[in-house]
Amino acid sequence: MKVGDRYFRSLWADVPAGRLHIIDQTRLPHAFEVRALTTVEQVAEAIRAMRVRGAPLIGVAAAFGLALAVRREPSDASISKASKELRATRPTAVNLAWAIARMRERLKGLKPAERSEAAWAEAQAIADEDVALNQAIGRHGLELLQREHDHLKRPVNILTHCNAGWVATVDWGTVTAPIFMAHEMGIPIHVWVDETRPRNQGLLTAWELASHGVPHTLVVDNAGGHLMQHKQVDLVMVGADRVTRRGDVCNKIGTYLKALAARDNGIPFYACVPSPTIDWTIEDGVEEIPIEERDPDEVRTVRGLDAKGAYATVNIVTPGTQIANPAFDVTPHDLVTGIITEKGIARASERELLAFWPRDQRSKAYLT
């Protein structure tokens, strides 16, 4: 999507040079910096440090990380070691394990000499498919927004949490795909953007929306309930890091509270979910999804620009204060109005998800 007047994907490969280019998201929204990664270790670091982040994007980055490992050393041992290192970076988003397993499946029958070319091609296919999935989600979400606008006959107010925008994917985003499409078609929309402490991913969403001229307002995470009570939100749209087969939605910490407030106020709550985010092996998200616990420093500090416009980090917590930093939570399926997928909008139930993905069409690759 657009950064100033130029169009970018959030990562791209230079295959002859053996480089993966990423937009360093730890520098956004105030600085736009591209990094070139040449080793699997650098890719693992970029995922761990959230230079690349968002469930779909970390899956794609991991696929290219494996391609870099195979380019250096195409043996089975090298592939196993790289897979292990990449999988250990972040535990919650299932896209990561899914992409690694898909890469391994593609490489396993090949001779070592054939593997490098195949690995780059497969990683690129995963990246290109991600764009197509998001565009399809966009088309289904667009119909929903069009209907909502036809019904309301005024701008549609959407509340979103975290960043499920184009930088969280290869392009378009999941939540932002329908928003960008609606905006392009002239459907009036306005987005309430949750700041999303502690990593402030909402600032990325605000930056993306601003770059495309979509009206939006940044709010603190606790404002959503109040806005809903005062009829300033028509629907909630969030992304997901892992969705269970019955439609429990695991997403950025604080999503569950938005779903509770939406239910109390009769406001529809949608999750935008490409199929690689669905974990068919589990049913109960609260019990079965591993929730990443991140560095307490993320809570202890706030990062922004100082008076000279340079990035600075300040401590906001008194020394010795105990800190917990769970990065995700689970919204049970009965609080979810619908799951917007590349195949259409499903109710959050096993029966409806099964109707879109019969058993033989589901990817079980991540089980291997």
- The catalytic site residues sit at 241
User: Residues 35, 64, 280, CA angle at the centre, nearest 5°?
Assistant: 125
Q: Where are the alpha helices (DSSP H) in the chain?
A: 40-48, 55-72, 76-87, 94-107, 112-152, 176-184, 202-211, 224-229, 255-264, 285-288, 297-300, 350-356
Task: Give which of 237, 242, 208 is closest to 224, Cα–Cα.
Answer: 237
Q: Is the Cβ of residue 48 or residue 81 nearer to ligand MRU in the bound state? A: 48
Q: Is the Cβ of residue 99 or residue 107 nearer to ligand MRU in the bound state? A: 99
Task: Please identify which residue in the block is written with the tokens 């001229």.
Answer: 213
Find the part of the chain contacting ligand MRU (CB under 6 A) among 121-129, 163-171, 182-190, 307-315.
163-171
- Least distance from C-beta 73 to ligand MRU, angstroms? 29
User: Considering only residues 9, 22, 40, 56, which one is a binding residue for ligand MRU as defined by CB under 6 A?
Assistant: 56
Which amino acid, one-letter code, is at 344? G
Find the part of the chain contacting ligand MRU (CB under 6 A) among 27-35, 47-55, 220-228, 360-368.
47-55
User: Considering only residues 89, 174, 200, 244, which one is a binding residue for ligand MRU as defined by CB under 6 A?
Assistant: 174
- Distance between start and end Cα atoms, the chain: 34
Q: What's the chain's Rg over C-alpha atoms? A: 20
User: Residues 250, 253, 257, CA angle at the centre, nearest 5°?
Assistant: 90
Binding flag, residue 258, ligand MRU (CB under 6 A):
no
Task: Give which of 49, 55, 94 is closest to 289, Cα–Cα.
Answer: 94
> What is the sign, positive or negative, of the torsion defined by CA atoms of 56, 60, 63, 69?
negative
Instruction: Copy the structure tokens of residue 16.
Output: 């002859």
- Least distance from C-beta 274 to ligand MRU, angstroms? 8
Give, as ranges, the residues between 323 and 342 that touch ligand MRU (CB under 6 A): 327
User: Considering only residues 241, 248, 329, 342, which one is a binding residue for ligand MRU as defined by CB under 6 A?
Assistant: 241
Q: What is the number of residues in the chain?
A: 368
Binding flag, residue 254, ligand MRU (CB under 6 A):
no
Binding flag, residue 251, ligand MRU (CB under 6 A):
yes
Binding flag, residue 53, ligand MRU (CB under 6 A):
yes
Q: CB-based contacts of 135: which residues, under 8 Å, 6+ apart? A: 172, 177
In angstroms, the Cα distances linking 110 to 69, 80, 158, 277 are 15, 15, 48, 27
* Secondary structure (3-state) at 366: helix
Find the part of the chain contacting ligand MRU (CB under 6 A) among 112-120, 161-169, 177-185, 303-311.
161-169
Give, as ranges, the residues between 99 and 158 that touch ligand MRU (CB under 6 A): none
Give, as ranges, the residues between 75 and 104 that touch ligand MRU (CB under 6 A): 93
User: Residues 197, 188, 179, CA angle at the centre, nearest 5°?
Assistant: 50
Give, as ranges, the residues between 179 and 198 that touch ligand MRU (CB under 6 A): none
Binding flag, residue 164, ligand MRU (CB under 6 A):
yes
Binding flag, residue 244, ligand MRU (CB under 6 A):
no
Binding flag, residue 160, ligand MRU (CB under 6 A):
no
User: Considering only residues 102, 245, 246, 252, which one is a binding residue for ligand MRU as defined by CB under 6 A?
Assistant: 252
Binding flag, residue 224, ligand MRU (CB under 6 A):
no
Find the part of the chain contacting ligand MRU (CB under 6 A) among 29-37, 223-231, 237-245, 301-309.
237-245
Q: Which residues bind ligand MRU (CB under 6 A)?
A: 53-56, 93, 162, 164, 168-169, 174, 201, 239-241, 251-252, 327
